[in-house]
Amino acid sequence: MTDLEKAYATQLANIEKRSGRKLSELVKLLKASGLSKFGERRDYLKRELGMGHGDANAVVTYAAAAESPARSVASTDPDRILDEIYTGKKAEFRPIHELLIKKISKFGDYETAPKKGYVSLRRKKQFAMIGPATQTRLEVGLNMKGVAATERLLAEPPGKMCNYKIRLTSIKDVDAELIGWIRTAFDSAG
């Protein structure tokens, strides 16, 4: 079992303790809600059970794997996940994603946690998220402190998964400034 899988298992066990419900009960609750979209299900758990964003994400991911084990993120190879994320008009953003990963890999060790529509990058904690935000742009979300927002480095409101986001539309957007911000986030994630 990888460190990431251990962390996920611990998070799920903690969710059961905090909520007072077994994961199977939470899956049934989601099914009974009639909601099918990931974000709707996550928001339902946050609203109805008072779960935090990360816990609600984990439960919805768990439920999706339980309802369709063949599509479990944990059991799917990374290239297949990227194929699913970067489909249709979003396929043009995959070279940007791959260039970012190539540059980030030079910083040192980190873990990649593919999600449904993006990839989370972590050290001791998440430092970045990469994924298509729309069919016309890719976004890099960053977690770091002490960096002033700019026209390009957009501050996110409190409660979001990242402190900042940067919008990219072409491979030219992967420049020294962007890599510097990512390096700052990487270093602050331990």
pLDDT tens-digit readout, 75-92:
445 567 778 888 888 999
Domain boundary among 75, 105, 130: 75
Structure tokens that stand for 109 in this block: 């060790």
Mean pLDDT for 8-18 is 87
Among 53, 75, 97, the domain-final residue is 75
Mean pLDDT of the chain: 87
Look at residue 3 in the predicted model and tell me its pLDDT. Answer: 58
Where among 44, 75, 106 does a domain terminate? 75
* Residue 148 and residue 121 share a domain: yes
Residues 111 and 55 both lie in one domain: no
* Buried/exposed code over 31-51 (b: 16+ C-beta within 10 A; e: otherwise): eeeebeebeebbebbeeebeb
Residue 94 and residue 61 share a domain = no
73 pLDDT exceeds 70? no
If you average pLDDT over residues 8-35, what whole number do you get?
90
Query: Could you tell me what percent of the chain has a pLDDT over 70?
Result: 91
Rounded Cα gap, residues 93 and 132, in angstroms? 7
- The percent of residues above 90 in pLDDT, for the chain, comes to 52
What pLDDT, on the 0 to 100 scale, is given for residue 181?
96
Q: Which residue has the higher pLDDT, 69 or 112?
A: 112
Region for 37 from its dihedrals, namely left if φ exceeds 0, alpha if ψ lies in -120 to 50, beta otherwise: beta
Q: 126 lies in which domain range?
A: 78-188
- State residue 1's pLDDT score: 56
Are 70 and 84 within one domain? no
* Contact criterion met (CB below 8 Å) for 190 and 123: yes
Mean pLDDT of 21-48: 90
Task: For residue range 105-156, list pLDDT tens digits in order.
Answer: 999 988 888 887 899 999 989 999 999 999 899 999 999 998 999 999 999 9
Rounded to the nearest 10 degrees, the angle between the axes of helix 23-33 and helix 53-67 is 80
Total structural domains within the chain: 2
Q: Are 121 and 139 in the same domain?
A: yes
Mean pLDDT of 43-49: 92
